[in-house]
Amino acid sequence: MVIKREKTEKKYMHYPTVEDKSTEAHKEWEPWVHKGLWAIKGYQVVRGPSGGGTVEEALKRKPKDFMVIDRASAALYSHSYGLVSPFFRGLLDGKLKGTKCPKCGTVYCPPRAHCWNPKCAVAETEWLDLPLKGVIHTFTIQCLAASPFANMLPFSMGYVKVEGADTTLPMFLHIDPKEIFIGQKVEIKFAPKEKRKGELMDLYAVAVPSQKVPEWSCLHKNPRDMEMLQESMKKTLEWVKKRYGIDNSPEVRGW
């Protein structure tokens, strides 16, 4: 079904909308976009202290007048996923899609719209469905993160080589950090449908049960490394509990 856009929406007016799950933010932002986001809207002049040293020292000096301008600097980013849009729409449907070069046969996941093999001269790739299983190529255990992700700590991310693909896809590993190893077989899962946003955070990997940890496993071959991991995890879990009031321990999360 083709939905007719509202009159206020100017940006994509020349293109029919096939599906619209955009937010009210579009309506709120539209007037700002047309006013010019960086235009100065007004100013104030305030009198205040200046100079170095302590605040007390600055307050003793003769105050100066400062001009303060009002300028909107927030932004709504509307990105296009371009030719790899089918991959992200697939995530919404709980499907993992990759692309295959018709010339050299390389399978890309994450997808590439054109083959990177120089011999293929940017040949356009073809879409295919991939199985929801793979192998951990490499991983990291996060005990520190930027503020938007801090309440999820500690967490692990891995590059997973999806079965049938020649490249690796980054994703969350819902596996107890003490049990992760390179070469571990995983099953790829999706967040509940109503929570998916069409982004990589919609999927995660869980370990296929009853796998033997190899002797060379980086976290298992040296007991000191495992000790350090457990110390970091303990401190991180305590901090998250204090800061956000939540218990993120693997047992509670069911990892």
Helix/strand/coil for 64:
strand
Tell me the number of residues near Zn ion by CB under 5 A: 6
**Residue 117 interacting with Zn ion (CB under 5 A):** yes
User: What letter does residue 132 receive in the DSSP assignment?
Assistant: S
**Selected binder of Zn ion within 84, 91, 96, 101 (CB under 5 A):** 101
How far, in Å, are 37, 127, 130, 166 from residue 205 at the CA level? 41, 22, 15, 18
**Residue 104 interacting with Zn ion (CB under 5 A):** yes
Binding mask 50-89 for Zn ion (x = CB under 5 A): ----------------------------------------
CB of 130 to Zn ion, least distance (A): 17
For residues 11-45, b (16+ Cβ closer than 10 Å) or e, as one string? eeeeeeeeeeeeeeebeebbeeeeeeeeeeeeeee
Which 12-41 positions form the footprint of Zn ion (CB under 5 A)? none
Q: Report strand pairing: 185-190 vs 203-207.
A: antiparallel
Could you tell me where the DSSP H helices lie in the chain?
A: 25-35, 55-60, 85-92, 223-244, 250-253
**Residue 115 interacting with Zn ion (CB under 5 A):** yes
What token pair was written down for 39?
A: 């235009």
**Residue 103 interacting with Zn ion (CB under 5 A):** yes
CB of 102 to Zn ion, least distance (A): 8
Q: Which is nearer to Zn ion, 39 or 122 (CB)?
A: 122
**Residue 120 interacting with Zn ion (CB under 5 A):** yes
Residues within the interface to Zn ion (CB under 5 A): 101, 103-104, 115, 117, 120
